Amino acid sequence: MRPITRTVSAAIVGFAVGAGAVSGGMAAYTHFGPSHALALKSSNQPPFATVASYTPPTLPLGPDTISNVVKRDGDAVVKIVASVPQSTSISSSPYFNPFFGSLFGNSLPSGPSQQVQTDIGSGFFINSQGDLVTNDHVIHNANKIQVYVPGYSKPFTATRVGTDYQADLAVLKISAPKALPYLVLGNSNTTPVGAWAIAIGNPYDLSHTVTVGVISAKGRPLTIGSRNYRNLLQTSAAINPGNSGGPLLNLAGQVVGINTAVSTQGQGIGFAIPTSTVEHVLPQLMKYGHVSQPWVGVFISTDSAAMAKQYGLPTGTGVVIAYVEPGSPAAAAGLSAGEVVTQFNGQSVTTASGLKTLVDKASVGQKISLTVNDQGKTVTKTVTVGQEPNRAITPPSTGLSF
């Protein structure tokens, strides 16, 4: 696990995934009264609604604003129950680490060495046809996904439309007998720090729980296991296990973030994926089922005096390759840990973030040249940019990846 930059320690952050026992305890599922159908702007509804395509009627600001938002838009929020087969004992799961607490519910044996783990999260509809968004970690490796929709007594079985491991986003689909209420994606870029934020979800299987806070900070980087979040919203709205995948709303009822993680040793420290990220990923998930992301397969760090002294490298003249993923384009091109990248396509690079930005602008299949310093010898190697795998990539202790 790589350390979290800035002020958040990896040891204190856990996914806001939910948990429910398969039977008994807190797994008494709550169903709701009749849901209202939101009026569609036109019959030519976009794949998902944004402020540019459809804006809900403005609600008057006042003492009842938050309750009115919840009353109008709450039925678009659902509970997701994912069944994940486990081939090893649940006690070996990293999510039972004492730093995180027991985030998951009971398990039932399904064979000599098989168990079924039941995870509970949240999600919300993005159009009236039954497409909904949640976190990838809510449904990752699940062989059965059930969606509890307000107004329906029985859950719907969902199918996967698309998932992206690194962005931690997933699109699911259900088939309902009538049009479904949906939420509009707002603009997280123009949402200021200090703005009111409303979270709706299913913490600890307490269905349709509403919490309120503010946007505490923006652009928070976070690393949890092998997932790297580079640009999260921080919020003081209470987020707990089960809130994952649920919406973080503004006072207009627009989604500005998707609730994702929570600090288990702090109060009022929750994190959400901003809609600026969601709007980039969603169209690709809905069209292709995955995100086209250029990938070389290395972890890098900016060369520094300390690293130069430790490894006998040039000081401040490039980017150190800390790790090369086996079977990656980097491995095929002969790149090795300990080499210092000094140029990208003939352009000088001095920082890890700068090099990553250049690679992110490349296209899958494009050939790029990386000039490296290998123990004092300058070599240029050609790399064919690949497609980032939709899975965990083994990280070293430090560095960015691309």
pLDDT score recorded for residue 209? 95
Q: Which residue in 124, 115, 111 sits closest to 88, CA to CA?
A: 115
Using CA atoms, how far residue 210 sits from 31, 67, 121, 140, 199, in Å, is 16, 9, 14, 25, 6
The total of other beta-carbon atoms located within 10 Å of residue 343's CB is: 17
Do residues 347 and 355 touch, judged by C-beta distance below 8 A? no
Looking at residue 253, the DSSP 8-state letter turns out to be S
Looking at residue 60, the DSSP 8-state letter turns out to be P
Do residues 320 and 303 touch, judged by C-beta distance below 8 A? yes
CA within 13 Å, CB half, 303? 24
Which listed residue (119, 131, 164, 168) is catalytic?
168
Which listed residue (236, 244, 263, 276) is catalytic?
244
d(CA 245, CA 237) in angstroms, rounded, equals 15
d(CA 217, CA 219) in angstroms, rounded, equals 7
Residues forming CATH 2.30.42.10 domain(s) in the chain: 294-401
Q: Would you mind telling me the total number of residues written for the chain in this entry?
A: 402
Active site residue 36: no
Active site residue 168: yes
pLDDT score recorded for residue 17? 59
63: Cβ contacts below 8 Å, ≥ 6 apart? none
Name the stretches of the chain with pLDDT < 50: 1-13, 19-44, 88-111
Q: Which residue in 149, 103, 161 sits closest to 291, CA to CA?
A: 161
Topology of 14-291 in CATH?
Thrombin, subunit H (2.40.10)
d(CA 88, CA 86) in angstroms, rounded, equals 6
Has domain 294-401 been given CATH number 2.30.42.10? yes
The tens digit of pLDDT for each residue in 132-155 reads 999 999 999 899 999 999 999 999
Active site residue 244: yes
Q: Residue 353, SS3?
A: helix
DSSP 195-232: -EEEEEE-GGG-TTEEEEEEEEEEEEEEEETTEEEEEE
pLDDT score recorded for residue 134? 97
Which listed residue (107, 137, 216, 263) is catalytic?
137
d(CA 275, CA 20) in angstroms, rounded, equals 28
Residues forming CATH 2.40.10.120 domain(s) in the chain: 14-291
DSSP 28-53: -----SPPPPPPPS-SS--SS-BTTT
Q: Residue 321, SS3?
A: strand
